[in-house]
Amino acid sequence: MLKITTEKNDKTLTYKLDGELDLVSSKDLSEAITIDECDEMIIDCSKLAYLTSAGIRVLMATDRDMSIKGGSLTILNINEAVKEVFELTGVDKVLTIG
């Protein structure tokens, strides 16, 4: 299960993820993300416990969409388990991780 909290500050939209980003919850995240409302998007993973390839696809698609519109996506506060998934898949070389 994934809890998604959204905060907006001017042209920055932050999504805070709490739980597991898997096949089921990746659809929820994909539906929750709105790139039209921001120039900068932050996804805070400080409470993200688990991530599957379905979650990676959502992050990659969001990064692509933000780039197309001239915006940016930053992934913050990843734990060691999520960091390892990013490194194994090479996503850490594509996404901006702060």
CATH among 3.40.50.300, 3.30.750.24, 3.30.210.10, 1.10.20.140 for 2-97: 3.30.750.24
- How many angstroms separate the CA atoms of 43 and 97, rounded? 10
List the 96-97 sheet strands across, edge first.
2-9, 12-21, 40-51, 72-76, 96-97
pLDDT over 70 for what percent of the chain? Answer: 100
- pLDDT for position 5: 97
Please give the average per-residue pLDDT across 59-84, as a whole number: 96
pLDDT (0 to 100) of residue 65: 97
pLDDT at 37 over 90: no
Q: What is the mean pLDDT of residues 35-52?
A: 94
Q: Where are the domains of the chain?
A: 2-97
